[in-house]
A and B are shown apart, each in its own frame.
Chain A
Amino acid sequence: MDSLPDALVQHILSHINNAKDVAVCNCVSKRWKDSLPYIRSLYFARNSFDNLFGQQNPDNLVWKMISSIVRLEELVVYCPFSGVGLASWLSLVGPSLRHLELRMDNLVENQICNEGPSKLDCISVAKNLESLKLWGVLMTHSPKWDVFQNLWNLEIVGARLDDPALSAALRGCPNLTNLLLLGCEGVRLVSIELPHLQQCKLDFYGLGNCQLSITSPKIEFLEVQGCSWIRVHEANCLKNLSIANNAGKVYRVDFGKLEALEFLSIRGVQWCWDAVSNMLKWASEVKHLYMKVEFTGDSEALQPFPEIDLVEFFNSHPKLQKFDIHGAMFAALCQKNSLKHVDSGFVIPSLEELVITVRSPLNAEQKMSTLESLLKYGKNLKSMVIKILQMKSNHSSADDFFDEICRFRYMNRKIVRIE
């Protein structure tokens, strides 16, 4: 190792980013100590300073290490720190930082500590940031941020927000292409107007009654959890869409025609029927559809889906290759009698994979008929997986139904499988 040129030693050590390893390497030899200032990225694990004794202060130790580095581009701090500490570090390296990731830990504090600068406000010094990730954030006051011109990626995981604070934060990042807000509570009305946004993942805790409006014409990937009303103006580029609501009801969706959509997933306990039927109508080009909505109903009462004509459904989704039918959909597909009058030219052209959850043995005959039709008209069907573990088995006809399904599987062993 001693015979390698300095540049290569620096190059090797630039792959050492864990602060503990950096501190150890400082003690190996003078040449190593002199090579470490050239590292670009530094990471402080949660337990970095668990072994402190005496008057050693984590904020200072981080400061010391950062001050020895010529040009730090990436800083990740998971260990606890104070606003004063953060301000001191960023005054050293703020302008050169491209990526900053911090475990803020503010959620435990019930009120914002008024001593010293707010951690969120300090971040503004890192004005050239390209990527910012914050864990455990209390953002109930608008952060005093200038504009992060270069910030393309913002991730906030585990946060208590309020609507004006979130709006203020997003105004500070007009050039975002990626936005991730996971495990966030406290918002009700979210309006996102980011002209360059391409990927957006939102997960809101609470009663599932958030209202979301997005005006981002370049959006390609959108995943939303916890909203009851979702409006996306101009979704011409949207390829991949997932809407789920575990806690509340989905009342309304406004998307318009989703011409580029290839993947759609809709999940939740209860969706209003208009919302379901509009989604299915707009997603006519979709290749993979995942449905797990348990009930519909415009009022509080949980209702099954109305009848859905199988022929009409597959004719209006001609590109469908993969279909996951869970929740109330399978039962709804069965009930129309149009299967008896099917146009002889009818075919389900693109369908290759089917996964169906059968939940109850009611209307068993119709359900078997649907399974058979799917196989008969699905000329390119390669695999049909029937999931029956959640089937209600206290009904006496459950055993007969199960037998029918087993027979169906036996007759079509190459394609059908039971899970």
Chain B
Amino acid sequence: MSSSKSNKIVKLESSDNKTFEVEEAVAVQSETLKNMVDDGCANDTIPLPNVNGKILEMVLGWCKKHVDETVTGDELNKYEADFLDLDQADLYGLLMAANFLNVKGLLDRVLQRVADMIKGKKPEEIRRIFNIKNDFTPEEEEEIRLENAWAFD
């Protein structure tokens, strides 16, 4: 007994109680949701307590765009580039959601985007941009800077 994938709907609820209904074909872009569907656990609304409505909407938008056959390669590239033009909070939210929901293409893109923001910068800049606490003691910091001095112009 096989289900006709084109008609089935999957219901999702975000952490802030927003519900979303998407076609199964869209939902299964997420490996996590695909496993649930395959195991027959996707008949009721699936709660996603660690993804908020705003982020979930973004992720589902991405998934929808990637099953749409009318979208050309160029359009998809532009969409992906514009998609990641986000502030940091949203970027991390997206990263965590893409990781949890295991949407591979999206996860890779976000990881790459964050990595690109790190490249070519100095440690102080990186700490400032990403709000990272410097947890080295002054002695430790001096030692590590000396070891890696060759990388600083």
Contact = CB atoms under 8 A, between A and B. Distances in A.
Interface of A: 1-4, 8, 11-16, 18-21, 23-33, 48-49, 51-52, 56, 61, 64
Contacts of A30: 135-136, 140
Contacts of B150: 23, 48-49, 51-52, 56, 61
Contact of B151 (A4, A11, A24): A24
Contacts of A4: 92, 95-96
Interface stretch (B58-66, B73-81, B123-131): B123-131
Given A1-B130, A51-B150, A27 B145 contact: yes
A23 to B, nearest CB: 3
Given A1-B130, A2-B131, A56-B150, A18 B95 contact: no
Given A4-B95, A51-B150, A18 B119 contact: yes
Interface centre among A4, A15, A26 (most CB of B within 10 A): A15
Contacts of A64: 147
Contact of A2 (B120, B121, B133, B147): B133
A71 B145 CA distance: 24
A18 B144 CA distance: 18
Contacts of A28: 123, 126-127, 132, 134
A13 B112 CA distance: 9
Given A8-B95, A33-B144, A49-B150, A21 B131 contact: no
Given A2-B133, A24-B152, A51-B153, A16 B99 contact: no
B16 interface: no
Interface string B90-115: 00100110010000000000011011
B52 to A, nearest CB: 15
B127 to A, nearest CB: 6
Nearest to A25: B118
Contacts of B130: 1
A2 B148 contact: no
A12 B116 CA distance: 10
Interface centre among B112, B122, B123, B145 (most CB of A within 10 A): B123
Contact of B148 (A8, A11, A14, A27): A27
Given A2-B132, A24-B121, A12 B115 contact: yes
Chain B residues touching A, range: 20 to 34
Interface of B: 92, 95-96, 99, 111-112, 114-115, 118-123, 126-127, 130-136, 140-141, 144-145, 147-148, 150-153
Contacts of B92: 1, 3-4
A21 B153 contact: no
Contact of A27 (B96, B112, B118, B144): B144
Nearest to B92: A4
B118 A21 contact: yes
A2 B132 CA distance: 6
A24 B132 contact: no
Nearest to B153: A51
A11 B127 CA distance: 18
B111 A24 contact: no
Given A12-B114, A29-B133, A19 B151 contact: yes
Contacts of A1: 92, 130-132
9 contacts: A3-B92, A8-B99, A15-B111, A21-B119, A24-B121, A24-B122, A26-B147, A30-B136, A56-B150
Contacts of B120: 21
Contacts of B123: 24-25, 27-28
Nearest to A21: B119
Contacts of B151: 19-21, 23-24
A29 B114 CA distance: 17
Contacts of B136: 29-30
A48 B140 CA distance: 24
Contacts of B152: 24, 51
Contact of B135 (A3, A25, A31): A31
Contact of A25 (B126, B133, B134, B147): B126
B148 A23 contact: yes
Contacts of A51: 150, 152-153
Contacts of B115: 12-13, 15-16
B141 A27 contact: yes
Contacts of A3: 92
Nearest to B121: A24
Given A2-B133, A24-B151, A29-B136, A16 B141 contact: no
B153 A26 contact: no
Interface centre among A20, A49, A56 (most CB of B within 10 A): A20
B54 to A, nearest CB: 17
A407 B145 CA distance: 74
